[in-house]
Amino acid sequence: MAATTSTTFSFSLTLIALCFLLRNANGDPNITFEPNSTMRTPIQPSPPPRFRFHTLQLSSLIPSDASCCSSPSLSAMEGLNKGASLRVVHKYGPCGQAQQQPRPTAAEILLHDESRVQTIQSRFRKAAAGGDVKVTESSTTIPAKDARTIGAAGNFMVTVGIGTPPQTLSLVFDTGSDLTWTQCQPCARFCYEQREKIFDPSSSTSYRNVSCSARSCSALASVSGMKSKCSSSTCKYEIQYSDSSFSNGFFGTEKLTLSSTDVFKNFFFGCGQNNQGTFAGSAGLLGLGRDKLSFVSQTAQKYKKLFSYCLPSTFTTTGFLNFGHVSTTSVKYTPLTTVPGGTNFYTVDITSITVGGEKLPIPATVFSTAGAVIDSGAVFTRLPPVAYSALRSAFRKLMSGFPAARPTSIFDTCFDFTTFNPVLVPTIAFSFAGGVEVEIHGAGVLYFFSLAQACLGFAANGGASDVAVLGNLQQVTWEVVYDGAGGRVGFAAGGCS
Ligand SMILES: *[C@@H]1O[C@H](CO)[C@@H](O)[C@H](O)[C@H]1NC(C)=O
Ligand SMILES: *[C@@H]1O[C@H](CO)[C@@H](O)[C@H](O)[C@H]1NC(C)=O
Ligand SMILES: *[C@@H]1O[C@H](CO)[C@@H](O)[C@H](O)[C@H]1NC(C)=O
């Protein structure tokens, strides 16, 4: 019998796949990850014995929308956030604020994800070519593509308080961008729909506009990629994301409350008067990048640029976002690397990949040539072409008992599971410099369009020197630690339990 990993989950489904699948009236797969010991059924024609597999239980049940969350009042927020530990929910799950919003289709998710990844990669490419990322004058209508901040900023949200008294707001958090902003009354131009009340600075005693002469106003250029504007000596920001989302408005300071013990006065943020795009449902963005004005930089004195998160593997479970501490003691660390063009990103060295427990024959230079970004906002992992081909062929070999399904979009390795249950899926693990091995959770191996089309949730980069991107689908349930001061990124298994 093939070795299998024991991943236990009550109701689990490849994260984003659910958005898509929930639209079907019936036949929605309900995929659970059963412990090894409960596995009885023959799965697929004689799985090779020496390899490691996940057991995926597939059944056809419509998941109920758990009513675990109401609109967070301040006291509810205090219940969710303990000290510097914030509860993380999926934006489109029942605990998210965006469940009233139409969920994006799989095609939309893929499109946004591609634009995000390509924007990240173009930053590195430009730097490698010796060019700087251009700062665009905000007077021009459409900024150069590479001046845009990366878009489709992930799907995970936390709730924070802004103002005095605090108004609670759910923000998407993003390690790939820096500026924190929220939609702001009076929404002079446009505010999209959000479930919470839109932040009103006039009901706060602590809101201040930033003046045009302030250093933080000039710092906006590197953070947002667009020079600030000035309106009656008030600094105005503009930020445009690669997926055409944007926010602009007044640059201000406010009191930011994570919990009763973690409060930051004079926090710099964007008070958005004109906001559109894929952020709908959230109140804005919490920037966890490495640049000057990011949340991480602004709170460095208290938290020493240390934070960690665990992203839930399903819509109905929750994760956490910690600041200044980690939840698990058994964290293994890999050094942050220096990659030209990558100073705003968290970059690490991949050293090898295993499939089913067996190391792939990939020359080390394949990874060192490309480098790798770990990103909370990108969904699917992108690999250098040589590494991806090796992964694909090993994976296909161990999945040969399943009929192939039509390739789609960036995915070229898809299977039809309609007549199989449960299924054994080979484990995939990444090794990083320093001997850190991260075995991807069973929910992060495949992306389910449907039971008849489940695709290996990875894709190949266009070129050998394009930076690899570790997406959030492959990070689920790991506690990922970002230690900016210590210059390292860490991983601990079983984070969200
Ligand atoms: C799976 O279960 C068998 C029998 O209980 C056990 O011997 C084996 O070590 C388990 N494999 C894994 C990977 O846990
Ligand atoms: C999913 O399937 C499992 C096993 O069949 C079941 O125990 C669980 O309740 C189902 N979850 C939902 C949300 O229907
Ligand atoms: C901030 O600046 C804008 C534009 O000048 C102004 O309308 C608004 O009243 C100012 N808010 C505060 C609190 O000063």
The bound ligand whose nearest atom lies closest to the alpha carbon of 59 is: 2
Domain locations in the chain as residue ranges? 3-61+326-492, 74-103+134-305
Residue-wise pLDDT for 88-131, tens only, equals: 988 777 666 555 566 777 888 888 889 889 888 988 887 777 65
Closest CA to 484 of 362, 323, 341: 323
CB of 234 closer than 6 angstroms to any ligand 3 atom: yes
Residue 138 has pLDDT above 60, yes or no: no
pLDDT in tens, 245-282: 889 999 999 999 999 999 999 999 999 999 988 777 78
CA 435, CA 429: separation in Å to the nearest integer?
Answer: 12
Q: Give residue 313's pLDDT band: very low, low, confident or very high (50, 70, 90).
A: confident
Q: How far is the CA of 68 from the centre of ligand 2 (A)?
A: 17
Half-sphere exposure of 476 (CA within 13 A, CB side): 30
Task: Report the C-alpha gap between 332 and 26 in whole angstroms.
Answer: 42
Tell whether ligand 1 has an atom less than 6 A from the beta carbon of residue 357: no
Q: Note the CATH architecture for domain 74-103+134-305.
A: Beta Barrel (2.40)
Ranges of H-type helices in 315-428? 364-370, 385-398
Q: Which residue among 36, 43, 424 has the greatest number of ligand 1 atoms within 8 angstroms of its CB, and so is best to mutate?
A: 36
Which of 119, 109, 110 has its CA nearest to residue 150? 119
Between 81 and 38, residue with greater pLDDT = 81
Atom of ligand 3 nearest to the CA of 232: 5
Q: What is the pLDDT of residue 152?
A: 40
- Residue 135, pLDDT > 50, answer no
Tell me the CATH number of domain 3-61+326-492, given options 3.40.47.10, 2.40.70.10, 3.40.50.1820, 3.30.1330.10.
Answer: 2.40.70.10
4 within ligand 1 shell (Cβ under 6 A) = yes
Residue of the CA atom closest to atom 2 of ligand 2: 30
Segment 26-31 mean pLDDT: 41
Q: Nearest C-alpha to atom 9 of ligand 1 is from which residue?
A: 3
Q: Label residue 17 by pLDDT band (50, 70, 90).
A: very low
pTM for this predicted structure: 0.83
State residue 482 phi and psi, 5-degree precision. -110, 110
Catalytic residues: 174, 375
Q: What is 254-274 written as a DSSP string?
A: EEEEEETTEEEEEEEEEEEEE
Nearest CA to ligand 1 atom 14: 5
Cβ–ligand 3 distance for 75 under 6 Å, the answer no
CA atoms of 416 and 418, how far apart (whole Å) = 6
Task: Please state the rounded mean pLDDT for residues 150-155.
Answer: 51
